[in-house]
Amino acid sequence: MIHQRKLKSVPKGIGMTSQGTRDRLVRRLRDNGIRDERVLKAIATTPRHEFVDEALSSRAYEDTALPIGLSQTISQPWVVAKMTEALLDGGSPQKVLEVGTGSGYQAAILASLIPKVFTVERIEELLKLARRRFHKLGLHHIYTRYADGHIGWPSQAPFDGIIVTAAAIELPEELLLQLRIGGVLVAPVEKGGMQRLLAIRRTEEGFEEKDLGGVIFVPMLSGLS
């Protein structure tokens, strides 16, 4: 069973960061096809303005990606919701891996639904900021690692689910093999000059792929920064 968790001392916000503004975002997501009420509740209760620069906080609850520096972005809320919904589809994951911590927002959404969240980031400065946000919000069941995302976190495998927040030309086999049988990996992948969001389930026989539609993500890069 998936349990909804409360954030510690969640800032309520005012004006364009208020709960009313978050609720309007949730209505837009529901209107645009997000059906899992657990995911919608997580979006409603997670303070996205805490994951962007203060200068952009008034835009935090727009359904759009925003820059977070270092040529990276915080994903569009609809995409975050869609990926989370796909990860939860047909199961109750207890342990998941995120590749690409970024601002930390996707990990925070996962942490409100899943007991153990492991997240890997290759840009040290972003990871330090995300760690401070997790601490501020009391998200102590998010475990972070400074590493190349292509490697994943093999010592913690297998995972019930994996989310990749950057677009790969080809998904690393090492990541796919860190899925348990029955687990789902959700990732944007380059196909024919476009990015497609894929949900890939590991089975006893191999992998089953489902196309969830077109997306736009930053590219998945190797190495540390």
Closest among 220, 221, 212, 222 to 85, alpha carbons compared? 212
Residue 68 main-chain phi, psi, to 5 deg: -125, 15
Is the distance from CB of 102 to CB of 220 less than 8 angstroms? no
Is the distance from CB of 80 to CB of 109 less than 8 angstroms? yes
Point out the catalytic residue in the list 75, 103, 112, 225: 75
75 is catalytic: yes
- For the four alpha carbons of 209, 105, 113 and 144, in that order, the dihedral sign comes to positive
- For the four alpha carbons of 140, 124, 48 and 86, in that order, the dihedral sign comes to negative
Closest among 114, 113, 99 to 175, alpha carbons compared? 99
> What are the residue numbers of the active site?
75
